[in-house]
Each structure stands twice: as C-alpha cells, then as structure tokens.
Amino acid sequence: MTAERRDGFAVHLEQLAKRPMPEQPLLGVEEESDYPHDLTAAAQVELEHLWHDLHNARQVAVNGVWSIQCENLAYRIVMLSRLAGALSADHVQVDVVLDGLYERLHREARIEYPPIDWDGVRETAAHIAASAAGVSSR
C-alpha cells in the first residue's frame, strides 16, 4: 500500500471515529421479545427479508428479469432454506409465487416446500390489482 493511500485511509478512519452516534436507541435493541429465540425461527425471519429483497432486486435488474444481486439473494435463500426449511409461499411476495420463481428455486435446489394455496394467491393478486386501480376487491 502506498503512503498516499495509507494516509487517505487514516483520514477516512479518523472521520469515521468523529461521526456522532444516534441519540435514540438503535432499532429493536431494547425489545428482546421481538426477536426469535431459536436459530430456525431466526432463519425463517431472515428468509422473509431475503425473498422481499429478491423481489425488489428483480424489479431493478437492468434486463428486468435477473441480476448478480438476484443470484446472490437466491443463493442465500437456498442456503437458509436447506437449513431451516422453506418459507411458506404465504410469506413471499405474490408475484414471485405467480411467476413460478418460488417453486422453481425450491425445485431446482431440491428443497421441499409447503403446498401453495393457489386460491389465496389469486385472491391476494386480485386485491393488489384492485388496490392499485383504486377499486375495492371485496
């Protein structure tokens, strides 16, 4: 590492050390009851977040379909699903279920997943579409 780069890094570390910490409590640190108390439950919570992140990553993928970020998230979903079991489709964004990604990812990774309530998925999709159109579906 060059002296110039070392000095720049030292300046960066110095700036970080001077950055104030937020005065409010850090999110969720105080509420122990909000956290799962076993690894499987924690993995299931993380799987919900990963599926959500995968849904968002697909929406912003350059080609509108898949990206390196999607690949990384799919890898992490498979890894946790193999350890903790597949997350129910009820806890995954409806379009990820409707377009077949939920099933395909589990099938290709040879991970059993709970049966999908297709009537519930269609009802949720119709409700979302009606909400987006400003119409009540009920």
pLDDT greater at residue 106 or residue 29: 106
| pLDDT for the residue numbered 97 | 96
In this prediction, residue 33 carries a pLDDT of 66
**N- to C-terminal Cα separation, the chain:** 65
> Could you report the per-residue pLDDT of 61-87, keeping only the tens digit for each?
998 889 999 999 999 999 999 999 999
Tokens of 131: 């909400």
8: which residues sit within 8 A by CB, 6+ positions away?
none
Residue 57 has pLDDT above 70, yes or no: yes
Instruction: Return the pLDDT at 30.
Output: 63
pLDDT of residue 27: 66
Residue range 5-20, pLDDT digits in tens: 556 777 777 877 787 7
Residues in the chain: 138
Measured CA to CA, the distance from residue 127 to residue 18 in angstroms comes to: 49
Q: Could you tell me the pLDDT band of residue 93, with boundaries at 50, 70 and 90?
A: very high
Quote the tokens at residue 36: 């799962």
Q: Report pLDDT for 20.
A: 79
Q: Give CA–CA dist 108/105, Å, rounded.
A: 5
pLDDT digits (tens, 9 = 90+) for 99-136: 999 999 999 999 999 999 999 999 999 999 898 888 65
